[in-house]
Structure 1
Amino acid sequence: MIYIILLILSFLLTYFIKNYMIKKSLVASVNERSSHTTPTPHGGGIALSLTWFLGLGYLYFMGEIEASLFYALLFGAVISIVSFFDDIYELSPKLRLIVQSLIAVGGIFAIGGLNQIDLGFFVIENQIITNIFAFFMIVWFINLYNFLDGINGYAGSEAVFLALAGFVLFGGAHFAVLAVAVLGFLFWNWNKAKIFMGDVGSTLLGYNIAIFTLYYANQESSNLWIWIILFGVFWFDATLTLLRRKRNGEQLSQAHKKHAYQRLTQSGWSHYKVTNYSIGLNFVLFAIVYFVSNIFVAFLLALIVLYISMKFVDRKKAFE
């Protein structure tokens, strides 16, 4: 019953925020980085975030979520609030990075740090090294999710996929809460978007995925690789694009439209088709995780799939 209530709440909040943003002319302008052509209200992530934290609080008071995970996820409220003001006032990159760094430290502290990193042939147990890795992973996940929130349904469908995959593989009511919180928003963002998520939603989702990765990696070291595989569509695109732009000598802080999803839309694909393509890739990655018992073989297979998918994108629209 609680999940139906949260779904309806997210749906209605997104609807009212959409109308309010239109009334106040608070719409996302079209710029050189945009993949949309019509000014559209943003801030749908506010509804998503409010629903998520209400559901999270419910789980905590009902004893359905472990305290360490609850407090780690609760730090996401800070990044949502800061991102809300960033959506309105465009805060400086330095301030955003400082906040993200502090949140990363808080999240790592709440879950007790990252115990180890199993590389298959070698296990890293030095807490300085593992927690430095955890720190940069959280900051990178926050930013890459924000980078890839650019077309209708893309970031929202990725979050729903990861929530459902997490629920199937690990259980946990928090995954169900995340799924319904995003689904209520996604109704208004799917296909022809009537509202965008904004940084307030995308940065929170990136942070949540990072915390899930670390939390479950502490339960079983191979889970680190499971989450990296499941999140492959996003991190592979963002990381490879960053490395390619670095190789080209580009200013990395400059706005661009070179991510795979952006190049597919430039090639003539609709937002709907690109999003469905990413969903299909996600199902393949889930099948690899689910059916391949050796996690390192699974990771290798996932890399091959992601590489082939990127070469496909390159043929549709070359990286320049």
Structure 2
Amino acid sequence: MKLVLLICFILLLGVISFILTFLIKQFALRKNMFDIPNERSLHDTPTPKGGGVAIVFAWYVGITLLFFTGVVEQGLYSALLCGIMLAVVSLIDDIIGLKPYIRLIVQFITAIAAFYFLNGLRPLIMPGLHLNYNYIIYPIAIVGMVWFINLFNFMDGVDGFASVEVISICSVLFVMSWNMINILLIFCVSGFLYWNWPKAKIFMGDVGSTQLGFILVVLGIYFHNTFEFSILNWIMLTSPFWFDATLTLFRRWYNNEKLSEAHRKHVYQRVVQSGFSHEKVNISLILINMFTIMLIILYREIKILQIPVFALSMLGFYITTRWVDKRVPFNIKKQ
């Protein structure tokens, strides 16, 4: 009976996310709160923004319910609540704009607090390798958390793209852990996705994208610590996003470009510029995620294949990048 009620409540939150996104869209239209096309944009008309508020609202109502019903434990709940500070600052940034260093400071504070409530990161175990050096691993993990929060924001540039990635990741996490928190996030995002599917009628904004990046990285660490899903598997699962964002950042740095300037050089952005529709890019992401999931299942069963399979997937992403380079060039020569 308890499970049935939880499922009904989660479904209700999906509906609330759907309705609230619509109301935010109408409010944004009346108040002229638009995302104006710029050098980074792949859309050519002003579009309402702030839809991520609906996701955030439904999410925090949901995890509070899961906490008080015993589905979510204290440590995870406390870690996730740290994201409220991030959400507030991101919303302010969406409305009036904030200096990058202010956002970065808040992101580090949020990551450090969440990492504390998660009790750090248990040792990383790989074939022939056992990393248990907290003074090395912990700082790297915190920086990684902040980077993932930002890269998820960078990758939110195609209609429905970020939402599809969240749903894909959480579907795998649910199958591996059977934790209802993953279903909750799927429905919170799905309610918004209806309005964000190509052609998008509203964008989630930084308040949504940074929050989703934060939630995913917290869940990744949590399920690693509970031995339900290794952080190495999580890294593999999220590779379509972090590989594109990290390689693009490196190439822009190598090219002596100003990293704070908006751009359209991510692989997924150049795929759209080459002629792919937003919908085709989303379908491609789903197919890539399905292939990545099969690889994860393979090396979960045969541990010795972990490193070779990971290297093979990275090679696949690099080959894809070079294919895109031929369609829409990315000059990496130093100026």
Which TM bucket (shorter chain)?
A: over 0.9
Q: What residue identity is the alignment partner of 1:80?
A: A
1:59 to 42, 58, 66: 66
Q: Is the 2:176–2:229 Cα contact (8 Å) retained in structure 1?
A: no
Query: What is residue 108 of structure 1 aligned with on the other side?
Result: 115
Q: Is the 1:213–1:224 Cα contact (8 Å) retained in structure 2?
A: yes
Q: What residue identity is the alignment partner of 2:65?
A: Y
Residue 300, structure 1, aligned to residue 311, structure 2: yes
Q: Matched residues in 2 for 1:125 and 1:15: separation?
A: 48
Q: Matched residues in 1 for 2:276 and 2:27: separation?
A: 31
Residue 128, structure 1, aligned to residue 135, structure 2: yes
Residue 289, structure 1, aligned to residue 296, structure 2: yes
Query: What is residue 274 of structure 2 aligned with on the other side?
Result: 267
Q: Matched residues in 2 for 1:133 and 1:214: separation?
A: 13
1:182 to 175, 178, 189: 189
Q: Is the 1:115–1:130 Cα contact (8 Å) retained in structure 2?
A: no
Single out whichever of 123-132 and 112-121 deviates more from structure 2.
Answer: 112-121
**What SS does structure 1 have at the residue aligned with 2:45?**
coil
Q: Matched residues in 1 for 2:40 and 2:251: separation?
A: 17
1:96 to 95, 98, 103: 103
In 2 relative to 1, CA 155–222 (structure 1 residues): closer, same or farther, beyond 3 Å? closer
Shift of 1:260: 0.6
**What SS does structure 2 have at the residue aligned with 1:149?**
coil
Q: Is the 2:220–2:229 Cα contact (8 Å) retained in structure 1?
A: no
**What SS does structure 2 have at the residue aligned with 1:287?**
helix
Q: Is the 1:237–1:259 Cα contact (8 Å) retained in structure 2?
A: yes
* 1:143-182 equivalent positions in 2, closer than 5 A: 143-182=150-189
2:147 to 140, 155, 164: 140
Query: What is residue 23 of structure 1 aligned with on the other side?
Result: 30
Residue 256, structure 1, aligned to residue 263, structure 2: yes
Percent of pairs identical after alignment?
40
Query: What is residue 234 of structure 2 aligned with on the other side?
Result: 227
Single out whichever of 97-106 and 213-222 deviates more from structure 2.
Answer: 213-222
Q: Matched residues in 2 for 1:41 and 1:163: separation?
A: 27
Q: Is the 1:225–1:299 Cα contact (8 Å) retained in structure 2?
A: no
What is the total number of aligned residue pairs between the two structures? 320
Q: Is the 2:76–2:222 Cα contact (8 Å) retained in structure 1?
A: yes
Q: What residue identity is the alignment partner of 1:261?
A: Y
Q: Alignment RMSD, CA only?
A: 1.4
Shift of 1:291: 2.9
Q: Is the 1:59–1:65 Cα contact (8 Å) retained in structure 2?
A: yes
Shift of 1:222: 6.9
Q: Is the 1:118–1:221 Cα contact (8 Å) retained in structure 2?
A: no
Residue 195, structure 1, aligned to residue 206, structure 2: no
2:77 to 61, 70, 82: 70
Q: Matched residues in 2 for 1:159 and 1:104: separation?
A: 19
